[in-house]
Amino acid sequence: MTHAVSVSNLYKTYDPPKGQGSPVEALRGVTLAVEEGDFFALLGPNGAGKTTLIGILTGLVTKTSGEAKIFNHPVDTDASRAKTYIGLVPQEFNFNIFEKVEDIIVTQAGYYGTPRAEALKAAEPILKDLGLWDKRYTPSQQLSGGMKRRLMIARALIHGPKLLILDEPTAGVDVEMRRSMWTFLRKINKEGTTIILTTHYLEEAEQLCRNVAIINKGSILVNQSMQSLLADHGEEKLEQVYLDLIGAGKETENEQTL
Amino acid sequence: MTPQKQWTAFYTMLRNDFVRIVRIWSQTLLPPVVTTTLYFVVFGTFIGSQLKPIHGLTYIQFIVPGLIMMSVITSSYMNTVSTFYFAKWTKTLDEILVSPMPEWLVIVGFVSGGVMRGLMVGVLVGVVGLFFTHLAIQNIAVLILTLVLTSTLFSLGGLINGAFAKGFDGMSIVPTFVLTPLTYLGGIFYSIQQFPPFWQTVSLFNPILYMINAFRWAFFGVSDINIGICLSVLIGFVVLFLLVLLWLFRRGIGVRL
């Protein structure tokens, strides 16, 4: 089985601004593999290192040491090739709010080398699937929060990525829209797109994902199938398992401090 | 990325910047035209008519090439520093960074936007200059080469500034305290041959002097400095700034976290 993502002994330390504080170790030797076709949950509290890990995979963050590969292409020495496989839906809105929906998507396709005419054709089914077709000429700042999230999904899919990384895609989205996004994500996963999802809605991860990793303070606590994780913890809800694991981490840390 | 895909990505960046420059023309194209028109009127016509010719040129003829160059320098620099810093600040830069565009192509994309705006402003200011005086073109090749190299150099400079800027103040420090003094002291309004030898030597350390003289030579065939030296200095700085930027982008300094 091919690995869509393979990460080995990955470290990232952020230097503090000059004269302020000490360096922050965001990742401390993370090792992880995501198989092609998987629907994978990357869970952890705020500041655990999820976004840093995603940043390294997508070329937004420079790793300190270790290895990260996308479909066997190292993200540092073969970055251009590795990036062709990825579509990223970031946590924060990062599109030009003055641009129209269609222009945002077509421009993104252009950065991947898809000519405008081709991108316009490719955008139609994606926008229709995500319920944005009627809004294609609307400036993005006029969209609702849920629509802005879906716009970022559409933008990430325009070049036909084999790996879709979603960093808290349903934050601030109402229940109905969240469910429709689930349906859409299940559909594209079934069609072959590997998906990595970070979310604070643990029900979402439980419903959608086959495999899960929980990260805390830059280290992976567990990495196994969702089914086996829940079975190992007496068929508890994922939320309880998560709290137990994160809590256990805190207790260990307190003991070490004492 | 295949060369064809790279071309599409480059065209996408350039097209976006063109649309932006034209959409906000009152901020990008109009101000330099208004400012230089005032220079033409006040320094060229009112005061210049009272002054003796320099290198056989009327004062307005003498200052027009330098004023065109000043607009080109400012516009190119401000275009890249502002587009790059705003893209970082709003995180829209991520759209480019996550794409497979190689680092050199991202640099070329931003710099070409600056060159494009510099040339647009240069042409507009030149056309306005024609309302005030007669402009002969001695050497069209040197004129185009000087325009393109100067706008390239200051677009590269703006991009370096954008990479290091930590806030909006960081975008204006270099233009205000470095670029403006060097431009004003770069021989727009005078010939360094009017100076005592010591100040002539000091002036030679100002790189902008070489650009303005090369441009004036292209128009009228007169220059304080040999045209070959002028163009060599320009090319040298372009290569130097390009190498600095490639190093910054490769290491991710001021670009990635």
ipTM of the complex: 0.87
pLDDT value at B181 more than 70 = yes
In our burial notation (b when 16+ CB lie closer than 10 A, e otherwise), range B218-235 reads bbbebbbbebeebbebbe
List all residues 6 or more positions away from A140 whose beta carbon is below 8 Å from its beta carbon. Answer: A95, A96, A97, A98, A99, A100, A101, A104, A148, A151
pLDDT in tens, B12-50: 999 999 999 999 999 999 999 999 999 888 887 888 788
User: In this predicted structure, what is the pLDDT of residue A75?
Assistant: 95
Reference A54, options A239, A213, A247; nearest CA is A213
> Does B8 contact A110 at a Cβ distance shorter than 8 Å?
yes
Which residue in B has a C-alpha nearest to residue A107's C-alpha?
Answer: B12
What is the least distance, in Å, from the CA of A166 to any CA of chain B?
Answer: 14
Chain B residue numbers with beta carbons less than 8 Å from the beta carbon of A81 are 100
pLDDT value at A257 more than 50 = no
User: In this predicted structure, what is the pLDDT of residue B186?
Assistant: 83
pLDDT value at A252 more than 70 = no
- Which candidate from B8, B90, B97 shows the least CB-CB separation from A113? B8
Query: What DSSP assignment string belongs to B153-192?
Result: HHHHHHHHHHHH--SSHHHHHHIIIIIHHHHHTTTSSS-G
> Does A95 contact B95 at a Cβ distance shorter than 8 Å?
yes
CA angle B133, B134, B135 (to 5 degrees): 115
Size of interface A-B (CB pairs under 8 A): 80
Which residue in A has a C-alpha nearest to residue B2's C-alpha?
Answer: A113
User: In this predicted structure, what is the pLDDT of residue A258?
Assistant: 47
> Does A60 contact B97 at a Cβ distance shorter than 8 Å?
yes
pLDDT value at B175 more than 50 = yes
Average pLDDT for residues B124-148, to the nearest whole number?
91
More confident residue, B25 or A171: B25
> Does A111 contact B96 at a Cβ distance shorter than 8 Å?
yes
User: In this predicted structure, what is the pLDDT of residue A196?
Assistant: 96
> Does B90 contact A86 at a Cβ distance shorter than 8 Å?
no
User: Which pLDDT band holds residue A249 (cuts at 50, 70, 90)?
Assistant: low
Residues of A with CB under 8 A from a CB of B: 14, 55, 58-62, 79-81, 83-84, 86, 88, 90, 92, 94-96, 107-108, 110-116, 155
User: In this predicted structure, what is the pLDDT of residue B166?
Assistant: 85
CA distance B257 to B255: 7
Chain A residue numbers with beta carbons less than 8 Å from the beta carbon of B97 are 58-60
What is the least distance, in Å, from the CA of B103 to any CA of chain A?
Answer: 9
> Does A60 contact B94 at a Cβ distance shorter than 8 Å?
yes
> Does A80 contact B12 at a Cβ distance shorter than 8 Å?
no
- Which candidate from B5, B97, B251 shows the least CB-CB separation from A113? B5
> Does B9 contact A92 at a Cβ distance shorter than 8 Å?
no
Which residue in A has a C-alpha nearest to residue B16's C-alpha?
Answer: A107
- Quick one: tokens of B132? 């005030």
> Does A60 contact B13 at a Cβ distance shorter than 8 Å?
no
> Does A94 contact B12 at a Cβ distance shorter than 8 Å?
no
pLDDT value at B51 more than 60 = yes
Chain A residue numbers with beta carbons less than 8 Å from the beta carbon of B252 are 62
> Does A80 contact B100 at a Cβ distance shorter than 8 Å?
yes
> Does A113 contact B95 at a Cβ distance shorter than 8 Å?
no
| Residue A186 exposed, middle or buried by CB count within 10 Å (0-12, 13-18, 19+) | middle
Reference B111, options B212, B23, B10; nearest CA is B10
> Does A92 contact B91 at a Cβ distance shorter than 8 Å?
yes
Residues of B with CB under 8 A from a CB of A: 1-2, 4-6, 8-9, 11-13, 15-16, 90-92, 94-102, 251-252, 256-257
For the four alpha carbons of A160, A163, A168 and A171, in that order, the dihedral sign comes to: positive
More confident residue, B57 or A198: A198
Q: What is the mean pLDDT of chain A?
A: 89
What is the least distance, in Å, from the CA of A164 to any CA of chain B?
Answer: 12
Q: Parallel, antiparallel, or unpaired for β A39-43 and A3-14?
A: unpaired
Average pLDDT for residues B74-89, to the nearest whole number?
94
